[in-house]
Amino acid sequence: MIFLGIDPWYATIGFALIEKEGRDLRVIEFWVIETKPGTSFPDRLIQIAQDLRELLDIYNPTVCGIERLFFLRNVTNGIDVAQARWVIVHTIASVGISLVEFTPLQVKQGITGHGMAKKPQVQKSLQMLLKLSEIPKPDDAADALAIAYLTSLKF
């Protein structure tokens, strides 16, 4: 089975793919897709959908995990991110891929055992859990890797 993890945003979206055979996990890849500053917001959303469709066609993941949104302060950014997340969820659902959602607290708790862990702790824990030679970076890709890992544990 191939598990896709996504850390949603509209400027930089983290993606990660993990393959699971029995109990063995193998990191296929993790990266970010960036939309260009100055591009209109609708065009950014179109690019996200197109890039995601291409990714789905290439890797054909079985299940996708995505982070739920949680905003305390910047409502304007939150609305834009929510719209980008909707495009991602719609694209995933439209091709029939199952979707699992995690809150940021669940991701931190699931990877480090502590819901208030900082990003460096999550990245170091991922390095150990997945036997990576280096700490996964950038942050958005590492977050997506954490989500893909937690998704793989559910199946």
Q: Which residues are the active-site residues? A: 7, 67, 140
Residue type, 50: Q
CA nearest neighbour of 107 among 93, 87, 88, 121: 121
Residue type, 8: P
Give the helix/strand (H/E) hosting 34: strand 24-34
Q: Is the omega angle on the peptide bond into residue 138 within 30 degrees of 0, that is, cis?
A: yes
Contact residues for 119 (Cβ-Cβ < 8 A; gap 6+): 139, 142, 143
Radius of gyration for the chain, computed over Cα atoms and rounded to the nearest angstrom: 15
Neighbours of 7 (CB within 10 A): 26
Separation of alpha carbons 14 and 7, rounded Å: 5
